[in-house]
Amino acid sequence: MRNHLALALAASALLVPAIASADPDGNETKRFGVFGGLALHGGNISCEGDGCGDDFRKAGGADGHVGWLFNEKLGLMLDFWGMSSKENDTTISYVAATVNIRYWVAPIFWLQAGLGYGHANVKVETAIGDFEGQSDDVPVGQLGIGVEVVRGTNWALDVEAKVAQGTETDDNDANATTGRMVGVGVGFTFFGSK
């Protein structure tokens, strides 16, 4: 999975010159002040360490973001993202809240990175009842990349990919459990304008 993400980032970097000159609808998007939006994602949730399985679980989810644009290229935002997977009678959800910097490398191409906290929820359905549990909140890092495929003067529809990862260690730091969610989706963002 790490190789796929590295390949996607490298391919995107090679496309920057072409993207920089592209404007799908001929619209010049004006970005300033408050911005926010929503996205839907498909992807997977995985876990490495004690008590984790060895496979990825298909997952779906959504995120919401709100922030402030300092200029047309640079913004600071809060991002709330969650993905969930149900297989057999077990539902696993992973949620993260991060503070991110989003930077438009080109008019329609953005990169995002942030830090925050996240946790996993587990629900197991049995004949005698449901059992639920939640992990501790742990530090989470998040990376994102997106291309705006349709733009208006103060909005954009983009295709994006994101990854968030958090690691929890036990009291003696001998064992670590890492949770990760990866998603590819479609997002809509509304921008304030001058």
* pTM, two decimal places: 0.78
Please tell me what DSSP assigns to residue 8.
H
Domain 2-191 is found in CATH 2.40.160.20: yes
pLDDT for 28:
64
Which position has the token pair 């890492």? 178
pLDDT tens per residue across all 194 residues of the chain: 444 444 444 444 444 444 444 444 455 667 889 999 999 999 999 877 666 665 678 999 999 999 999 998 999 999 999 999 988 888 888 999 999 999 999 999 999 999 999 988 888 887 887 777 777 888 999 999 999 999 998 899 999 999 999 877 666 555 667 788 999 999 999 998 66
Cβ proximity of 39 and 62 under 8 Å: yes
pLDDT for 27:
53
Domains in the chain: boundaries: 2-191
| CA distance readout (Å), 129 to 89, 90, 123, 132 | 11, 12, 10, 10
Residue 19's H or E segment, with its range, is helix 2-20
